[in-house]
Amino acid sequence: MEDHARAPPIVESIPEERCRELTDTIGVWVGKSSRVLLRLVGRRATSFPGLLALRVSPRLMRRLGRQLRSCTVVTGTNGKTTTSVMLATVFRSKGPCVHNASGANLRQGLMNALITSADWRGRLRADRAVFEVDEATLPLVAADLPIDFVAVTNVFRDQLDRYGEIDTALQLIIDGIRRTRATAVLNADDPLARHIGLRCGRPTVYFGMARQLARPPEREQTRDGEACLRCGHRLRYDGYFYGQLGLYWCSHCRFARPPLDFTGLYDGTALHVTEGRSGPETYELPVRGLFNAYNALCAIAVARLNGFRPAEIAAALKRYRGPAGRMQVFATEPVSILSLIKNPAGCDSILQAICREPGPKVLCVAINDRAADGRDVSWLWDADWELVPERCGVAQCVTTGTRAEDMAVRLKYAGYPTGRIETTPDLEDGIRRALRAARALGGLPVHVLTTYTALHEAARILESLAAEAAAPERP
């Protein structure tokens, strides 16, 4: 072993720095060629080439990263993908931008995005980057990338499952930010994100929603364990936006929602953003739902901090195409919003988001029971459809899909008036009827909820109906 360690390096004649460069170049080559190979065999290459490249050359991320002029990472529990894709869309309006594929938010996923943007000699073809980063990955890449902004969308408690403790998740983010020289862009309405802001030791910028959007606390279920992270006393709320996001303050110490640098007022179609005393600037949103408005607000804040003008951001957001089925907006007549529902928890969160949308609306629910949906639709009875008659402001319902009739029964037993339920198994007929009802009611928005196998068909139908609406009237 000793002998081996003392053996002269094979590439003795090449100076050390030159040798490193060579290794890095080989790393780029390995990464890029494995990408090409994977493409040839028809695989999606979002992480594996990055993993290989990191194996060959561990310093490659730093080497490629330092070519960036601006680098933003987005982390948090929910909304990382939407926020970072929105931001990449804005950045790309001024030139190429490195961005990792949705979900590829570990180290190798970031590496892969860098390799993709690099030429075969290891030169980046972009000088901006925005990365979606897993909380646990942030500390691992903080030293290798010239991160100037770390955006934290929120820290929800469902991380408990993955990291064992909320403290661990928070600590990972705090450690990550401390290893950068970045400004932290934080969700002020989230007490956990505020805690990060107090502890990370970096400059902070806070975004949050306007007070008037908050709902009085009594409608929310009591949240156990909402304790002040500073002193352990119970947090109080003057109002809630959604989940733990709200107007919080500690009854014992001075922990409270901080003053906002970017204040969002969501009106159901647009977000009006006030920066300090200037504004508001209005941004039409390509998606609906308060959770998406938060994502847009976070993206807008980072884009503004990067020197983008409101008009540039607004124009870019219009081009944003979100992941299918997350309150995706279609320019039908009247407007329709498509959401995927596949289990009780996901369905409940969509229903709650619809309840939060202002004004009356029409609901179209498409339930299929094909193999990919699950043949058994009993889960419909575990989802909280009782919200529909109680709080959602639904003026009319259409149920459709192979289980249209079961869904109608579910709504009836949820307490929705049967006289306002239409049923048709044919998806296109269902969507057309919902839009017709919405027009008859004076142009109400139509929320289309579908199970997995109906999603893409619904999207296709809505797109063609939107094209019809956009076409000039024929004689």
Partner 1 sequence: MLNLYADRGNVQTLLRRCEWRGLHAHVTPVRRHDEVRLRDYHLVLIGGGSDREQALVAEALRRRRREWKAAVEDGLPVLAVCGGYQLLGEYYQLPDGTKVPGLELLDLVTTAGRPRLIGNIAIESPEVGTVVGFENHGGRTVHRHAPLGTVLRGHGNNGRDGYEGVRYRNVVGTYIHGPLLPKNPRLADFLLSLAAAYAGVAVDFPPLDDELEWAAHRAFLTRHAGVRGPR
Of 303, 327, 408, 449, the residue at the interface with partner 1 (CB under 8 A) is 408
**What are the b/e assignments for 58-85, b being 16+ CB within 10 Å?**
eebbebbbebbebbbbbbbbbbbbbbbb
Q: How many residues of this chain interact with partner 1, rule: CB under 8 A? A: 22
Long-range contacts from 136-139, C-beta under 8 angstroms, 24+ separation: 136/163, 136/172, 137/105, 137/106, 137/107, 137/110, 138/73, 138/75, 138/172, 138/173, 138/175, 138/176, 138/177, 139/172, 139/175, 139/176, 139/179
**For Zn ion, what does the binding mask look like between residues 215 and 254, x meaning CB under 5 A?**
-------------x-xx-x----------------x-xx-
Site membership for Zn ion, residue 14 (CB under 5 A): no
Name the binder of 375 from Zn ion, partner 1, none, CB < 5-8 A by kind: partner 1
Nearer to Zn ion, 185 or 250 (CB): 250
Which among 73, 76, 74 is positioned nearest to 245, based on CA atoms? Answer: 76
Of 189, 357, 406, 422, the residue at the interface with partner 1 (CB under 8 A) is 406
Site membership for partner 1, residue 377 (CB under 8 A): yes
353: which 2 tokens? 């988001």
Name the binder of 120 from Zn ion, partner 1, none, CB < 5-8 A by kind: none
Of 149, 156, 248, 255, the residue at the interface with Zn ion (CB under 5 A) is 255
d(CA 402, CA 166): 42
Site membership for Zn ion, residue 20 (CB under 5 A): no
Q: What sign does the CA torsion over 399, 400, 401, 405 have?
A: positive
Site membership for partner 1, residue 423 (CB under 8 A): yes
Name the binder of 468 from partner 1, Zn ion, none, CB < 5-8 A by kind: none
Distances (CA, A) of 224 to 74, 86, 221, 235: 28, 34, 9, 10
> Are 365 and 421 spatial neighbours (Cβ–Cβ below 8 Å)?
no
Question: Segment near partner 1 (CB under 8 A), from 246-254, 303-311, 360-368, 373-381?
Answer: 373-381
Of 22, 203, 413, 470, the residue at the interface with partner 1 (CB under 8 A) is 413
Residues at the interface with partner 1 (CB under 8 A): 369, 375-378, 380-382, 402, 404-406, 408-410, 412-413, 415, 418, 421, 423, 425
Residues near Zn ion (CB under 5 A)? 228, 230-231, 233, 250, 252-253, 255
